[in-house]
Amino acid sequence: MNTPVDLKYSESDEWVRVDGDIATIGITDFAQEQLNDIVFIELIITKDELLKKDDKLGDIESAKSHAEILSPISGKVIDTNTTLSDDLSIINKDPFGQGWMCKIQILDKNELNNLMDASAYQKYCEGREH
């Protein structure tokens, strides 16, 4: 399992990359592995929408399971990855890179302190595998 050290992680298995006051969000390697072959994604957010922490970003489906993607922090949507639906395997292959889902303008940087770092997330994942 890959858990890049420069990212922050949520308990619902999203990652956050912080660049100034912009946060890029996606789902973790652990999440894509648990879901297995992803067959559908639907992001329900629109540009300029204001999100609170844990608001729903969208749904993701594999052949026999379904998960919700939640926003790990609050902020304003500035971009979504519209190319994901063209090749869903990108989420499985490159969850931390091309598989990103949205970018938001961070509202309150203090919220980042509630997220896990890589080693805490790694511990969090241990024992959750099935």
Partner 1 sequence: MFIPHTDFERKEMLAAIGKKNFMELFLDVPEQFRFPDLDLPAALTEMEALELAKEYSDENNSTDELVCFLGAGAYDHYIPSVVDSLLRRGEFFTAYTPYQPEISQGTLQAIFEYQSLITNLTGMDVCNASHYDGATAAAEACLTAYHNFRGSKKKFILSNALHPQYRATIKTYMSGYSDVEIIQEDVSNDLQNKSSITSYLDKNTALVFFQNPDFFGRVNDLSSQIHIAHEFGSLTAMAINPISLGIFKPPSEYGIDIVVGEGQTLGIPLSFGGPYLGIFATKKELVRKISGRIVGETIDQSGKRGYVLTLTAREQHIRRENATSNICTNQGLMALASCIYLSILGKNGLRQVAELCYHKAHYAANQINSLKDFSIDQKSTFFNEFIVKCPRPVNEINSYLFDHGFIGGYELEKDYPDLKNHMLIAITEKISKDLIDQFCSTLQEAANA
Positions touching partner 1 (CB under 8 A) are 39-40, 42, 44, 59, 61-66, 68
Residue 24 or 32 having the CB closest to partner 1: 32
Residue 62 or 80 having the CB closest to partner 1: 62
CB of 84 to partner 1, least distance (A): 15
Helix (H) / strand (E) element for 84: namely: none
User: Contact 25/45 with Cβ under 8 angstroms?
Assistant: no
List C-alpha distances in Å: 14 to 27, 90: 4, 16
Residue 34 three-state SS: helix
Compute CA 122 distance to the chain's CA centroid, rounded to the nearest angstrom: 16
Residue 49 or 111 having the CB closest to partner 1: 49
CB of 57 to partner 1, least distance (A): 13
